[in-house]
A and B are shown apart, each in its own frame.
Chain A
Amino acid sequence: MSGFSPRGGPAPRARIYAIAAIMIAVFVGYTAYLFSMQIVDNYIYTERADRVARRSVVLPAQRGEIYDRHYDTPVVTNTESFAVYVNPAEISSGQHEEIFNRVAEFLDIPVEEIHEEIPPENYNTFRPTEVQAGVSFRKVTYLAEHAREFPGVSWRSKPSRFYVEGETMAHVLGYVGDITPEELQVLFNRGYTANSAIGKSGVEQQYDQLLRGEPGRRYRTVDASGRLVEESSREDIPPVLGNNLVLTLDRDIQQLTSRALGDRIGAAVALKPATGEILSMVSNPSFNPNQFYGEGRATAFTQVSLDTFSPFLNRAIQSTYPPASTWKVLMTTAVIEEEVFGLEDTINTKGRYRMGNRVFHEWRESGFGELDIFGGLANSSNYFFWTMGVEHLGVERIAEYARKFGFGTTTGIDLPGEKSGTVPDPEWKRRKYNSPWVGGDTANLSVGQGFLGVTPLQIANMVAMVVNDGVVYRPHVLKEVRDQMTGEVLQTVEPEVLHSMDVDQSTFDNVKKAMRQVITDGTAEVVITTPAVESAGKTGTSQVAGKEENWHSWFVAYAPYETDDPEERVVIAILVDAVNDWEWWAPKAANIILHGIFTNSDFEESVAGLREAPRPLWYM
């Protein structure tokens, strides 16, 4: 045994020493490594160990409730609802498929949604993943009672919004949804996180910052399964409750307006001209925001989004129409103020108005004969206003008055997505169509047709300008901000002048007189039957390209015609879209609404009251 040492034993010393050397080298290496981990880099691992075990749990801040102007019962509340989570790591391997199917069937969602949220590579992840929100207490109770059949399934309270008025106030109130990555990018610096809920439209969006409050945090130490081990020593940050909002809207008027419009496509606005407070704002078709919470929310949302009549569109501010004859209120103001046509002067109105080689037809074939400015407005004579516009005012002056009244710019209402509309003039037409302004354009502009685009709210504002003798207040839906706990008023919205016009007092008095004649002797005489209040207003019927039998039906009015208390005045503007069957509904709806407001009654009572009036309701 040549390799083996003869002394002491048969093992080869050199090789044993070599092995010993290797072993000692490993021990030294490991000791050094352990030293570097535990002594040198200790702080890194300590920090990491703390972080791993310490989770911060977001304590959601209760979103503020929303009230109407009466501040008695809320129109938007928070309801108890639950989000269901699946923690894949708590499901034994091989069972994921089966459990997912069971959960999906129970929650009535496609199982693909769960697979999408939890791909197989996450099956060992200790992270509860939300698979469904808006789950009812009843279903969560079932889950709790059958916990054994649903391993890894947990739930957390996730209050959702309840819109008491349902479809009726949907456009003003809006709705709340999960924040999208795009929204988060913009809002990250304002304290939003990927789990934030955020207002998607209406007041919920406009005043999200006020409503949402500040989520708090609770720090806890958890074990590997995410189970609570101990409350952490770190102080909790309590959530700051969101503020309650009190709106200027009147729940009863809102309902009345909505019912008066019925299911006709269109919009209606009622406001207080003295302050700009919106009393009601209705847009049809509407949607029920409550269906976006809870089971079936995804399909409900898709359905509303794909509806051809765009229920999400708030037609009162987000849609523009030609104002048609309502425009003549503005024209009348311009004519009187500019003194281009005397108050006693008359025109012999005919059935046709000739401009060069073009002929414009009056809506009444025979014309109206001799008319002064009051008769022109009362009968809504196009011939009269064609003459005024083309021969006396001219496009530039009409456009100037339009801008003074606030057309072509947004009203600044505190709701998102408002349209500014269009006031055309030669410069505008050249830029937009690269073609010159012609006389026919002025004729169209004179009677609210052609390129003009206005929102129903702008039309209401036009009348507010007249009512206020040259001042318009910024329309708004927010009245007060109140503390959610104490109810203390934190902020009150004061009236704010939006536009003011330097126009002679007598001009507006005459315009009001003319508008009163519309009701008493003019186009609206047959429909405005309410004995409850004297009103003044203007009808409008606008042609729509491609529709021969149907027209947009407009009506704008204010009431009472005369009053000592401007605060009680109301302006209403109604548009019924031409897609509806023609029934000249706008003034008819206005009649019901005015009667309802001034007799303090709801829709049914208002209709019943009108039926018993001296001039009984004849159209329904």
Chain B
Amino acid sequence: MQSRSMLSFDVYLVGATLALIAIGILFIYSSGVTSSGRVFSTEYIRQIVWAGTGMILLFATALLPHGTARAWSIPFYIGVIILLIVTLAFGRVVNGARSWLGIGGLGIQPAEFAKLASILFLALFLERAGSAVKRIPTLFAAFAIVALPMALTLMQPDLGTALVFIPIFLVLVFVAGARVRHVLYIVLLLGLAGVLTVIPAWERQIYEGTIPAVSVLTRPQVLTMAVIGTTTVLFVGVVGYVATKRRHFYWMMYGVSLLLVALLSSIAVRQILQDYQMMRLIVFLDPYAEPRGAGWNIIQSITAVGSGGFSGKGLLQGTQSQYQYIPQQSTDFIFSILAEEWGFLGGLVVFALFLLILLRGLYIVLTARDTFSALMATGVVALIFFHFAVNVGMVIGVMPITGIPLFFLSHGGSSLWTALVGIGLLLNVHHNRYHY
């Protein structure tokens, strides 16, 4: 056993984190300056404060004795769930979602912390479950852990944040050893259900034509027949499998049930989602279908990014951002300012820093001392990666608008603290590696 000094932190991780935070503050400042040079927003100062306190949290988390995270995972989880419920009851409505809890100007978004809490609890559960994770009931139980905060977040309603719980769950059960076909089933199911959900709206708003095959989803009679048909085939598959235990009956069940469940859930989701929410999900396919409505954000964002060129227009020189064309410039669309003012090179720098953090995170996973630590670190990596992929994808116009912030860069205390505590957890795992 090696003894490590407090200064032996992973310099790559801490360095990349600090670099991203610094870049973030720079562009939050840029977003708060008008073209005439007037600073109209002090968001960057608050971000500095949050970054300072966040760094303290980071080091505190990193220095926790081994086992603390495991010991506190359940109380932390319960505490966050209570906070989520309290938020639903007494929270403040910001941007249409009751997601804020706080007094006066100070407030937190409990849903951000719920992501970490779920990672901890899920890691603990999966460690205890061991190889039982290969069984379907275990997967259901594991899913229940993320489903609870996810449902509470959906009720705010904050679709984007709620979606984050799904990749956390998938990656954790995958790394914990779940069967590939089970994980694949869930991925395919989600993908298929998602596509089936938005296709009617896509046909109406973006394709603006009629595709005969889509009538399966839009015309009730045809839909009923499709459901009855697949149910029948599924029944045949189940009977066949029980009777013969033949392999192909299993895959038949696998495929048909996938179709049926995706179909049914897409119907349910279409009932829940409002038209404007649906539009936000698909408008990235053709922002000009609603250039002044849902497409506005995307058009302004990709215009800013694309006009940035190789080295950008220079800090504070971006026209799209400085003329306030981009909405939520300091939070969800921070990357579009960066891409406009620092260009392709700036984008590459940010990509490289994120990739460094993520790959370093995965290295820490590989060197983790125990299963819990490995899973916890995996969860943090998955969380950061998902945020990155969805946020940057949205900004460059290849992902739906979901309102997920870009960790480290986006303005906002709760998400910054979550990210920094996440890095702290990675450092903690790294700090306590090889302790056999």
Binding site for B on A (CB under 8 A): 1-5, 8-13, 15-16, 19-20, 23-24, 26-27, 30-31, 33-35, 37-39, 41-42, 44-46, 48-50, 52-53, 121-122, 124-126, 221-225, 229-230
Contact = CB atoms under 8 A, between A and B. Distances in A.
Interface string B167-204: 00001001111000000000000000000000000000
A24 B355 contact: yes
Given A2-B131, A38-B308, A41-B306, A9 B325 contact: no
B396 A16 contact: no
Contact of B359 (A20, A46, A122): A20
A303 B339 CA distance: 60
B131 A38 contact: no
Contacts of A3: 131, 176-177
B124 to A, nearest CB: 14
B2 interface: no
A41 B309 CA distance: 9
Given A16-B362, A52-B303, A46 B309 contact: yes
18 contacts: A1-B130, A11-B366, A16-B366, A16-B378, A20-B359, A23-B359, A27-B354, A34-B347, A34-B348, A39-B310, A42-B306, A45-B306, A46-B309, A48-B306, A49-B307, A121-B293, A124-B293, A125-B292
A9 B367 contact: yes
A164 B304 CA distance: 54
B122 interface: no
A15 B174 contact: yes
B359 A26 contact: no
Contact of A37 (B293, B302, B351): B302
Contacts of A38: 305-306, 308-310, 339, 343-344, 347
Nearest to A48: B303
Interface in B365-420: 365-371, 374, 378, 381-382, 385, 389, 392-393, 396, 398
B325 A16 contact: no
B320 interface: yes
A35 to B, nearest CB: 6
Which residue among A221, A229, A230 has the maximum number of chain B CB atoms within 10 Å of its CB? Answer: A229
A11 B368 contact: yes
Nearest to A20: B362
Contacts of A126: 292
Interface of B: 34-36, 130-131, 171, 174-177, 292-293, 296, 300, 302-310, 319-320, 323-325, 339, 343-344, 347-348, 351, 354-355, 358-359, 362, 365-371, 374, 378, 381-382, 385, 389, 392-393, 396, 398, 433
Given A23-B355, A34-B339, A125-B292, 5 more contacts: A1-B130, A1-B371, A12-B177, A42-B306, A46-B306
Query: Which 3 A-B pairs rank lowest in CB-CB distance, beginning with the nearest?
Result: A45-B306, A223-B323, A3-B177
B323 A229 contact: yes
Contact of A53 (B176, B292, B323, B398): B323
Given A9-B369, A10-B368, A225 B324 contact: yes
Contacts of A23: 355, 358-359, 362, 385
A45 B362 contact: no
Contacts of A122: 292
A11 B365 contact: yes
B5 to A, nearest CB: 22
Contact of B355 (A9, A27, A41): A27
Nearest to A51: B303
A225 B35 CA distance: 13
Contacts of A10: 368-371, 374
A230 B347 CA distance: 29
B35 A229 contact: yes
B302 A45 contact: yes
A34 B396 contact: yes
Contacts of A8: 366-367
B304 A49 contact: yes
B378 A11 contact: yes
A52 B325 contact: yes
Contacts of B385: 23, 26
A31 B366 CA distance: 27
Nearest to A34: B347
B36 A37 contact: no
Contact of B344 (A5, A12, A27, A35): A35
A121 B275 CA distance: 13
A455 B381 CA distance: 92
A33 B396 contact: yes
Contact of B323 (A4, A24, A121, A221): A221
A43 to B, nearest CB: 9
A268 B296 CA distance: 61
B191 to A, nearest CB: 14
Contacts of B303: 45, 48-49, 52
A346 B358 CA distance: 124
A417 B354 CA distance: 75
B399 to A, nearest CB: 10
Nearest to A17: B362
Contact of A34 (B293, B324, B344): B344
A278 to B, nearest CB: 52
Nearest to A35: B344
Most buried by B among A12, A44, A221, A230: A12
Contacts of B348: 31, 34
Contact of A9 (B302, B354, B433): B433
A41 B397 CA distance: 14
A247 to B, nearest CB: 47
B188 to A, nearest CB: 15
Contacts of B382: 19
Contacts of B378: 11, 16, 19
Contacts of B344: 34-35, 38-39
**Highest count of chain B CB atoms <10 Å: which of A12, A30, A39:** A30
Contacts of B305: 34, 37-38, 45
Contacts of B325: 52-53, 223-224
Contact of B292 (A16, A30, A124): A124
Contacts of A33: 396, 398
Contacts of A222: 323
Which interface residue of A5, A23, A26, A38 has the most chain B CB atoms within 10 A? A38
A27 B306 contact: no
B268 to A, nearest CB: 28
A8 to B, nearest CB: 6
B362 A229 contact: no
Contacts of B175: 11-12, 15-16, 19
Q: Most chain-A CB neighbours within 10 Å: which of B343, B366, B369?
A: B366
B323 A30 contact: no
B393 to A, nearest CB: 7
B325 to A, nearest CB: 4
B365 A16 contact: yes
A35 B324 CA distance: 25
Contacts of A24: 355
A321 B381 CA distance: 94
A9 B339 contact: no
B362 A19 contact: yes
Nearest to B304: A49
B359 A30 contact: no
B433 to A, nearest CB: 7
A39 B306 CA distance: 8
Contacts of A223: 34-35, 323-325
Contacts of B365: 9, 11, 16
B138 to A, nearest CB: 14
A87 to B, nearest CB: 12
Of B131, B365, B382, B393, chain A has the most CB atoms within 10 Å of the CB of B365
A222 to B, nearest CB: 7
B171 A19 contact: yes
A19 B375 CA distance: 13
Contacts of A19: 171, 174-175, 362, 378, 381-382
A11 B374 contact: yes
B307 A42 contact: yes
